[in-house]
Amino acid sequence: MQPSSRTIELVAPAGSLAALKIALQAGADAVYLGLQNATNARNFSGLNFSEAHLRSGVELAHHMGRKVLFAINTFPQAGRVAEWRAAVDVAHSLEADAVIIADPGLLAYARDRYPDMRLHLSVQSSATHADAIEFMREQFGIRRAVLPRVLTLAEIEKLIRQTSVEIEVFGFGSLCVMAEGRCLLSSYATGESPNSHGVCSPAHAVRWHDQDGHLEARLNDILIDRYAPGEPAAYPTLCKGRFAAGIDRSTDADMADHALEEPTSLNALSLLPRLLGMGVSALKIEGRQRSPAYVGQVTATLRAALDSAQADPARFAARPEWQFSLSRHAEGSQVTQGAFERPWK
Amino acid sequence: MFMPSTFPSTLPWRIAAGPLLYYWSRQETFDFYAAMSCMPVDIVYLGETVCSRRHELRDADWLELAAMLRKSGKSVVLSTRTLIETSAEAAAVRRLCAQDEYAVEAGETGAVGLRKGRPFVAGPHLNVYNGEALNWLQQQGATRFVAPLEMNRDTLTQLIAERPADMEVEAMVWGRMPLAFSARCFTARHFRLHKDDCGFRCKEHPDGLALRTRESQDFLAINGVQTQSAACLDLLDETQALARIGVNVMRVSPQSQGSFHAIMALDALRHGRAATPVALPPGMGRCNGYWHAKPGIALVEGET
C-alpha cells in the first residue's frame, strides 16, 4: 500500500444551514455558501444564509476543524458596489476561511481592507491558463483558483506545474456547458444573468403549460422544451432546451434536439487518482440549490472515494455502490466526465 | 509603433468594426477588409477570437490586412482570443500581447496581465460592471473598455459616471451579439462531428447557424464554440443617447450583409444627416432589449 502524500480538500455546497450541517457530518473539509442577495451566483429564493445562520454555521465548522468559504462571486453592479463590499465585511467579521471573488475591483477592496484574508479566484472570472492565474496572484495574492469546466486533465496538469496558486476543480454536479462567467444566455431570454443577478433561467420566468397532453416549459414565454405524454420533463435551463436549426422551418417542432447540451451531470469519481497525482488541491461539488439529502449523500460518497484514493491511489477503483449513489443524484440520466476527458473531441 | 488614434473633436463618436466572429474564406475575408478600408470607419479590430482551429488566415495574413488598413488611415487593433483552453492558445496570446506595432484588445484576464502596463482595449467579455474594476484596468494599461452587452441605459450611465478620467467607452451597437463561449463546438455537434474533426462546417454559415424553438421562434445562433443572439442588435436609433451618456466609440460587429450600411448609417448620424435603413441578412430579426432594461431578445420600437 502506497498512500498518497497529497490530499485533496473536499468542498461541499451549502445552500442552507441544514445542508451545511449534513455536509460537515458527511465529511466535507470545507463548505461554500453565500448571502441571501445578488452577491453570489446562486441567488435563488429560499436559499442561502441569514447572518444569524452564517454565525452558527461558521461556529460549527470551526468547532469541527473544517472551513467555510464565502462565495461573493457575482459582479458588483455600478452604483451598488457597497452591497458587495458589505458581503466581504461580513465574511471577514465572521472569520470566513476564504472569500471566493471574481471581480478585480472587489478583489482589490478585500486585499486592501483585509490583507490577512484568504482570497480564492471564482470560476466566474474565467481564468483558464497560467498567465491569467499568476497575474491575479501577483495583483491580489490569490491563494486558489477555481477552474472553469473547459479544460482537459492534460491541460490542468500543465497549468498546475506553471503556478503556485492552488487549483480547485469541479468533481460532481450539474454541468454548465458554457464557460462560467462567459454566458449571457439567461439575460438574453429573461433579463437576469449569473453575472449581474446571480441567477440562470430564474424560476419566476418559468411557466409550465399543458398543451393537448404535451407539457410545455417556457422561459419568459420562449418555448424551451415540449414533452410528449409520459416523457420525463426537466427544469427549463435554457441551454438544455430542444431547438431546431437549418433552412426548413416547417419541421422545427419535430426536428428540434438538444442543440447545445443534454441534461447531464459531471462525475469525476473515476479520475480521483489522476487529480490527486497531478496536484489538484480541492474538489468542488456543485449544487447549493440542491437538497440537504443530495449534499449529504454526494459528500459522503466522494469522502469515501477520496479517502480510498488517497490511501492507495495505484489500486483505486470506483466502487459500484459509489457510482450508484452518485447516479441517483445526476441530472437527467446521463453522467459524463465533461471537459476532463472530452468525449466530443 | 502604436499611436493613439486622434479623435476628431467635431464628431460625437468614432466608428469601430469589431473582430470578425465567423469563419469566412480567405478571399471573402480579404475582400471584406478591402471594402472596409474605403468605409468611414475609424477603428478596425482584427484577428480570430472564437476558434483556434480556423486557419484560412494565418498570423501573417492578419498582419497584412492590418498594414493595408493602417495605410488607409484606420486605427488597427489586434484582438486576442476570448476563451483560452490550450497552452498553444495561451502562447498565441503571449505573442500578440508582446508586440507593440498595433494596439491590442484583451479578450480575457491573461491578456490584461501580458500587456504589463502597456496600452490596450479591454474587450467586451472581461465583465466590467463597476468603476473599481475600471480603475484596476486603467492601472494595467487600459485606455478604453467595451461595455458588457447586457448593460442597460441606466447601468451603463452609472458605469460611465464611475469610470476613471481619460478612459474611453465603446459599446456594440449593431450585429449578432456574442452571448456565450464553451469548450464544446455546437456547429460540429449539429453535424454530428467531433470537434477535432469538424470539417470546418462553420464556413458554410457566414452569419452562424440560427436556432429556433419548437414553435419556430428565432432564438440563438451557433458559431462554433460561440453562441450568439439570433437577432441582430440594432441600436442605431439610440446613438445620440449613447453619445450623450459618454460612449465615444460605436462598434459594428461584422455580418455577411448590412455591416457597411450600418457603418454608413453611423457616419450619417454623426454628421447630423438622416440614416438610410440597414438591410439585414435574409431572415434575421432585430433586437435592442438590453438597452431598454428588458431581456436582450426584446425589440422596443419607436423610442429615442
CB B272 within 8 A of CB B11: no
Is there a contact between B215 and A132 if contact means CB atoms under 8 Å apart? no
Gap between the Cα atoms of B182 and B184, Å rounded: 5
pLDDT (0 to 100) of residue B9: 60
Percent of chain A with pLDDT over 70: 98
For residues A93-100, average pLDDT: 97
Inter-residue contact A22 to A285 (CB < 8 Å) = no
Distance from CA of A27 to the nearest CA of B (A): 32
**pLDDT, tens digit, 9 for 90 and up, residues B39-75:** 999 999 999 999 999 999 999 999 999 999 999 999 9
Q: What is the mean pLDDT of residues A251-270?
A: 86
Range with the poorest average pLDDT among A118-122, A204-208, A253-257, B8-12? B8-12
Domains of chain B are 14-175+233-277 (3.20.20.110)
Residue A107 and residue B187 in contact, taking contact as beta carbons nearer than 8 Å: no
For residue B185, pLDDT over 80 is answered with yes
Average pLDDT across chain A, whole number: 92
Please tell me what DSSP assigns to residue B4.
P
Is residue B7 predicted with pLDDT exceeding 60? no
Residue B2's pLDDT band (cuts 50, 70, 90): very low
| Helix H or strand E segment including A292 | helix A292-311
The whole-number average pLDDT for the span A206-218 is 94
CB A57 within 8 A of CB A20: yes
How many angstroms away from the CA of A206 is the closest CA of chain B?
14
Backbone angles phi, psi at A157, to 5 degrees: -60, -45
Read off the DSSP letter of residue A233: P
pLDDT at residue A265, rounded to an integer: 79
Residues in chain A closer than 8 A to B113 (CB atoms): 131-132, 134-136, 138-139
pLDDT digits (tens, 9 = 90+) for A8-38: 999 999 999 999 999 999 999 999 999 888 8
Judge whether residue B4 has pLDDT over 50: no
Chain A residues touching residue B159 (CB < 8 angstroms): 78
Report CB contact under 8 Å: A75, B220: no
Q: What strands, in cross-sheet order, belong to the sheet with A222-227? A: A206-211, A214-219, A222-227
User: Which of A73, A153, A188 is best to mutate for the B interface (most B CBs within 10 A)?
Assistant: A188
Minimal CA separation from A217 to chain B, in Å: 11
pLDDT digits (tens, 9 = 90+) for A185-203: 999 999 999 998 888 999 9
- Work out the average pLDDT over B167-178: 98
Do the chains contact at A243 and B211, CB–CB below 8 Å? yes
CA distance A340 to A275: 10
Report whether pLDDT(A338) > 80.
no
pLDDT of A337 above 80: no
Q: Are A283 and A10 in contact (CB under 8 A)?
A: yes
For chain B, give the mean pLDDT: 95
Q: Are B288 and B296 in contact (CB under 8 A)?
A: no
pLDDT in tens, B89-109: 999 999 999 999 999 999 999
Whether A276 has a pLDDT exceeding 50, the answer reads yes
Domain ranges of chain A: 9-175+264-340, 194-257
- Residue-wise pLDDT tens digits, B222-277: 999 999 999 999 999 999 999 999 999 999 999 999 999 999 999 999 999 998 88
Q: What is the pLDDT of residue A97?
A: 98
For A85, which residue in chain B has the nearest alpha carbon? B132
DSSP reduced 3-state for A7: coil
Q: Average pLDDT, stretch B281-294?
A: 95
pLDDT confidence of A344, banded at 50, 70, 90? low
Among the ranges given (A269-273, A340-344, B89-93), the one the predictor scored with the smallest mean pLDDT: A340-344
Query: In the numeric block, which cell numbers belong to residue B275?
Result: 440614416
Coil, strand or helix at A312: coil
Residues in chain B closer than 8 A to A243 (CB atoms): 211-214, 219-220
The answer to ipTM > 0.90 is: yes
A108/B136 touch (CB, cutoff 8 Å), yes or no: yes
Q: What SS3 class is residue A223?
A: strand
Q: What is the pLDDT of residues B144-158, one digit of tens each?
A: 999 999 999 999 999
Residue A86 pLDDT greater than 80, yes or no:
yes
State the pLDDT at residue B1.
Answer: 42
- Residue A199 near residue A43 (C-beta atoms within 8 A): yes
Separation of alpha carbons B17 and B62, rounded Å: 15
Q: In this predicted structure, what is the pLDDT of residue B3?
A: 45
Fold of A9-175+264-340: TIM Barrel (3.20.20)
pLDDT(A175) > 90: no
* Range name among A302-306, B7-11, B284-288 with the lowest pLDDT average: B7-11
Q: Inspect the interface and report whether the beta carbons of A77 and B87 lie closer than 8 Å.
A: no
What distance, in Å, lies between the first and last C-alpha atoms of chain B?
A: 40
Determine whether A249 is exposed, middle or buried from the number of CB atoms within 10 Å of its CB (0-12, 13-18, 19+): middle
Say how far apart CA A85 and CA A110 lie, in whole Å: 8
Per-residue pLDDT, B225: 96
Cβ atoms of B43 and B80 closer than 8 Å:
no
**A201 Ramachandran zone, left/alpha/beta (phi>0; psi -120 to 50):** left
**pLDDT given at position A332:** 60
Taking CB atoms within 8 Å and a gap of at least 24, the contacts of A138-145 are: A138/B113, A139/A104, A139/A107, A139/A108, A139/B113, A139/B136, A140/A104, A140/A107, A140/A108, A140/A110, A140/A111, A141/A111, A142/A107, A143/A98, A143/A118, A143/A119, A144/A98, A144/A118, A144/A120, A144/A168, A144/A281, A144/A282, A145/A120, A145/A121
Residue A333 reports pLDDT greater than 60: no
> Average pLDDT of A175-188?
92
Beta carbon pairs, A and B, within 8 Å: 232
User: Nearest C-alpha of chain A: how many angstroms from B131?
Assistant: 7
